[in-house]
Structure 1
Amino acid sequence: MSEPASRLLAAPVPACVPAYFHPGQGGDAWRRLLAHPPRMVVLNLGDGPGEAKDPAFPPLVARLLAAGTEVLGYVDTDFGLRPVAEVRADLRRYRAWYGVRGVFLDQTAAGEDRLGHYREIVDGVRGTIVLNPGVYPDPRYADLADVLVTFDGPLSAYKAMREPAWARSLARGRFCHLVHDVPSRQLEPTMRRAVRFAGLAYATDRSGPQPWGDLPAYHGRPLVAG
């Protein structure tokens, strides 16, 4: 029997934080992130590892790893259109420059026709593999990844999300949901919904074309079970 809704948030919700911000851009996002290190962080230096090693990031990654956070490198796959060689070159740069322990493949295709392309990308890749189609894809994508991001979008769309039957047979830890445009008053209801479907979840009050470009105002706020 599933847990009653009033007990679902008795423990912290493991978070996967898309850290698409630079320590030199102003603000205190990295200080706040390190003060409350999450379960997983996605490192993004501009839709990938950048053209050269950025000296600001290795000490930050080291502190996250020391805190037990899993750090993944962001790579854009352009919905299966980006060549395999380019994607794998980005993976090598992340490992060589920043010592990340896995990869977050963004803009992943969801259809059957691109499965072979992604099999080639992940073949032999060490560490945690996260695929982000942002929707529930062809179920065979689950064979290629440790975690599937099956929602990535605004709260308005999240309320209408439906889980397909095939996903119910897999452990919740195989899924992650990323929700933006979540005001403070909606944070706990959103997380209660998330833990029904995903073992990793993250919500932000940010909006616009890049809602992951800063931390939400409520980052680090404890979620109390009602």
Structure 2
Amino acid sequence: MPHLTSVKPSTASTDLRTGLGIPGLAHPLVAPTEWNELTRPGTPLHWVVLNVADGPGDQPDPHCLDAAGRLRNTGVRVLGHLDTAFGLRTFGEVISDAHRFLDWYQVDGFLLDRCPADRASLPEIRRTVATLRTIHDDGAHVVLGHGTHPYPGYAEHGDQLVTFCGPWSDYRWSQAAEWTADHPPERFCHFVHGVPRPHLEEALRIARWQGAATIYFTDHSGHGGRTEPWEPLPGYWDDIVSRIGTGVSE
């Protein structure tokens, strides 16, 4: 399988099995059971995003510090949530957030949420990613949260790319861009909400066919309220953990 030499090696294995990437649970004070569930031995987690308050917040949060520390102590990679606002936030704002995540929570890397996907924005994202790797002593694991298939050049800079983020009604008819076939599945992530329990196996098959090794499927949709669909764990959490953990989705 081809690997891009411009991407720094991370602690992820090159033969990474299908696993879960958690885009951002509710605050640990609101969802303590969910955060505790993530530390259960054997849970097939690739990483968990820490989103304190649309970013790192204004001061260290002891509840988030505790939650992140317990995950990292079990060997789970914790990523800080950096909102790029599709390129509208300045370089300085994003890097300032990154420094706070590092200083306060010792994160292992970052998810660049709402990451631009067009060719014109690539130089600024390249600059941002290079800086994130520089300020992180161990080489940050960087996930580019496009939510769609970006211009192929982005693959030279992110460790992983989120190439789908949206509802099951779109995902079940989606197709992977041809260029993704030149890269191994561990390079791609899919986040899908509104997946009914009876269609969970179908969703796992689509992820396999499209070559995405990091996934997050949930039956929540977030419609009709202010809750993000990713904030609670899916109602079939035990089922999806069992299917992935036993290799059913391989």
Determine if the TM-score, normalized by the shorter chain, exceeds 0.5.
yes
Shift of 1:14: 0.7
Aligned match of 1:199: 213
**Deviation readout 1:100-141 (Å, 9 max, x if unpaired):** 000000001111111111112112323101001100000001
Count, aligned residues? 216
Confirm or deny that 1:74 pairs with 2:81: yes
**Deviation readout 1:39-61 (Å, 9 max, x if unpaired):** 21011112201111100122221
Amino acid at match of 2:162: V
- Using the TM superposition, name which of 18-27 and 49-58 deviates more: 18-27
Structure 1 unmatched runs, 5+: 1-10
Confirm or deny that 1:97 pairs with 2:104: yes
**Deviation readout 1:8-52 (Å, 9 max, x if unpaired):** xxx973110123311212562212222246221011112201111
Query: Does the residue aligned with 2:23 lie in a helix, a strand or coil?
Result: strand
- Using the TM superposition, name which of 71-80 and 25-34 deviates more: 25-34
Query: Does the residue aligned with 2:82 lie in a helix, a strand or coil?
Result: strand
User: Quick check: 1:73–1:94 contact (8 Å CA) kept in 2?
Assistant: yes
**Deviation readout 1:170-209 (Å, 9 max, x if unpaired):** 1111100011101211112111211222011110111125
Amino acid at match of 2:173: A
Q: Percent identity?
A: 38
Query: Does the residue aligned with 2:186 lie in a helix, a strand or coil?
Result: helix
User: Quick check: 2:189–2:212 contact (8 Å CA) kept in 1?
Assistant: yes
User: Quick check: 1:15–1:202 contact (8 Å CA) kept in 2?
Assistant: yes
Q: 2:173 aligns with which of 142, 160, 164?
A: 160
- Using the TM superposition, name which of 12-21 and 164-173 deviates more: 12-21
| RMSD (Å) for aligned C-alpha atoms | 1.8
Confirm or deny that 1:128 pairs with 2:136: no
Aligned match of 2:59: 52
Amino acid at match of 1:90: D
Q: 2:49, 2:32 → 1: CA distance?
A: 19
Query: Does the residue aligned with 2:132 lie in a helix, a strand or coil?
Result: coil
Aligned match of 1:216: 234
Aligned match of 2:92: 85
Q: 2:164 aligns with which of 131, 151, 162?
A: 151
Aligned match of 2:9: none
Q: 1:203, 1:116 → 2: CA distance?
A: 32
Structure 2 unmatched runs, 5+: 1-15, 134-139
Q: TM-score with structure 1 length normalisation?
A: 0.90
Q: 2:112, 2:31 → 1: CA distance?
A: 27
Query: Does the residue aligned with 2:166 lie in a helix, a strand or coil?
Result: strand
User: Quick check: 2:21–2:45 contact (8 Å CA) kept in 1?
Assistant: yes
1:192–1:38 Cα change, 3 Å = same
User: Quick check: 1:37–1:67 contact (8 Å CA) kept in 2?
Assistant: no
Q: 1:95, 1:220 → 2: CA distance?
A: 32
Amino acid at match of 2:175: R
User: Quick check: 2:166–2:191 contact (8 Å CA) kept in 1?
Assistant: yes
User: Quick check: 1:135–1:150 contact (8 Å CA) kept in 2?
Assistant: yes
1:59–1:74 Cα change, 3 Å = same
- Using the TM superposition, name which of 94-103 and 206-215 deviates more: 206-215
Q: 2:87, 2:238 → 1: CA distance?
A: 35
User: Quick check: 1:148–1:175 contact (8 Å CA) kept in 2?
Assistant: yes
Q: TM-score with structure 2 length normalisation?
A: 0.81
Query: Does the residue aligned with 2:55 lie in a helix, a strand or coil?
Result: coil
